[in-house]
Structure 1
Amino acid sequence: MSRFLNPETMPKPASNYVQLVEITGPGRRLIISGQIGVTPDGQLREGYRAQAEQAWMNALAGLEAGGMGITDIVAIRVYDVAPGDVVAYREIRDQMLQGHAPAATYVMVAGLAHPDFLTEIEIEAFSAI
């Protein structure tokens, strides 16, 4: 079972995420490797928004393949190379998560595995048995 919390003793989140996720009881943990803006047939999408949307679609496809849903996501980690895209990232994340707010980390990095990659999204999920 997962419990999502924003304790009064911690700063309020800057957007739609929580400060803590508590996981208890038996269950299944799914970790989805960092997903990039490449389509299943290997085409790199062009531009930040297109890459971010595709990375999210890839991550959610992995979630589905693992037999889990959006509300099973307990943590997301995002690595971006494009300064100033945090607003776009938050809009896309909120659309993809449909109101679900897991723990989240957003990191600006100097580069990813290829110079044309603009974002990478990693997801961790938990489902009670």
Structure 2
Amino acid sequence: MDSRMSGSVFHQVVQPEGWPAPRGYANAIVATGRLLSIGGQIGMTPAGEMQEGFVTQCQQALRNIEALLKAADALPEHVVRMTWYVTDIATYTAQLRPLGQVYRTVMGRHYPAMSLVQVVRLVEPAALVEIEATAVIP
């Protein structure tokens, strides 16, 4: 197993030799510390207002994750895994540039292991995205 250190000593990004470098995610991460599991966050503000539009909902979901991390004395770079559920992959791929900007604004340049899944619908009918996160706090 060939691995490279990623910004912090508490986790390592694992990248097999010869694999192409991923962009915007990691294939695997090894981590040690306290586990924080964050349930799916949607584009709704703490006041219960659903944001309009895909990128804006993603930004709010990431901000919700950021608030939960802070409440647990964790940082965005402690996130080791994210699963994104979207109702339309075509919308996701059409918005990669602004979505990347929003992601970096909230999460920085830390890219955990990620999965993206298209679903028929989310529990909240107006939700276009739901993001789960797992963090390991040193």
Pick 1 or 2: higher relative contact order, CA cutoff 8 A, min separation 6.
Answer: 1
How many aligned positions are there? 125
- CA displacement, residues 90-112 of structure 1 (integer Å, 9 cap, x when unaligned): 44323322111111111111111
Are 1:118 and 2:118 an aligned pair?
no
Q: Is 1:3 aligned to residue 9 of structure 2?
A: no
Match in the other structure for 1:61: 67
Task: State the alpha-carbon separation in 2 of the partners of residues 110 and 84 from structure 1.
Answer: 14
Q: TM-score, normalising length from structure 2?
A: 0.82
1:45-67 C-alpha deviation (Å, 9 max, x unpaired):
11111111111100110011011
Distance 2:112 2:14 in 1: 9
Deviations 1:30-88 (A, max 9, x none): 01110001101101111111111111100110011011001111111100113332314
Unaligned runs of 5+ in 1: none
Q: 1:12 aligns with which of 13, 21, 29?
A: 21
Aligned counterpart, 1:85: 92
State the SS of the aligned residue for 1:16: coil
Contact 1:7 1:19 in 2 (8 A): no
Q: Percent identity, please.
A: 32
Equivalent-residue separation in structure 1 for 2:62 and 2:44 (angstroms): 10
Q: Does 1:34 align with 2:43?
A: no
Corresponding residue number in structure 2 for 1:21: 29
Listed as ranges, the gaps of 5+ residues in structure 2 are 1-9
- TM-score normalised according to structure 1 size: 0.87
Q: Is the 8 A contact 1:74 1:124 kept in 2?
A: yes
Q: RMSD across aligned C-alpha pairs, in angstroms? A: 1.6
